Amino acid sequence: MQLKSSLQAHWLFRAGVLLVLAAAVVGLFISHFTVPRLALSAHLVALLQGMFLVILGFLWPKLSLSSIQTRCAFWLFIYQAVAAPSSNLLAATWAAGNSIIPMAAGTAHGSTTQEVLINVGLRSAGAALIIGLLLVLWGLRRRPEA
């Protein structure tokens, strides 16, 4: 189990660094998007998600979870870390998203399909984050041994 936990931690590090790299690239092109404010949102969300995954990588070996719980938490965190910035990036590209992120999107409203895709992406990412955090909290229930 320790080997699997160590391997997952390594993948969390890799995914986190990749997200920070993606955020840097998006940051270079913010002004070229249809709605630059949404591109800035995608940039910041990807940067924060990347740092969050790296922090999770350090925490991962300390969790006391079953194999199934660990696998679920791992994939929930990977999913939400990609879905949230991707949804923001799609909104920035499509000039859409004011149905769910009006502060960033302003008046930018896409087609019904675009708005639904952005809504599903952001809401499912939020749900995955909450469930994953509950699993981590559960995994931290035991005190570390001295």
- Check residue 3 and give its pLDDT: 62
Output the average pLDDT for the chain.
93
Q: What is the pLDDT of residues 87-112, one digit of tens each?
A: 999 999 999 988 888 888 788 888 99
The Cα–Cα gap between 78 and 11 comes to 9
Percentage of residues of the chain with pLDDT beyond 70 = 95
- Check residue 110 and give its pLDDT: 84
| CA dihedral (94, 95, 97, 99) positive or negative | negative
Task: Give residue 13's pLDDT band: very low, low, confident or very high (50, 70, 90).
Answer: very high
- Check residue 2 and give its pLDDT: 59
- Check residue 144 and give its pLDDT: 61
Q: What is the pLDDT of residues 39-70, one digit of tens each?
A: 999 999 999 999 999 999 999 999 999 999 99
Which residues are CB-neighbours of 106 under 8 A, at least 6 positions away? 35, 37, 98
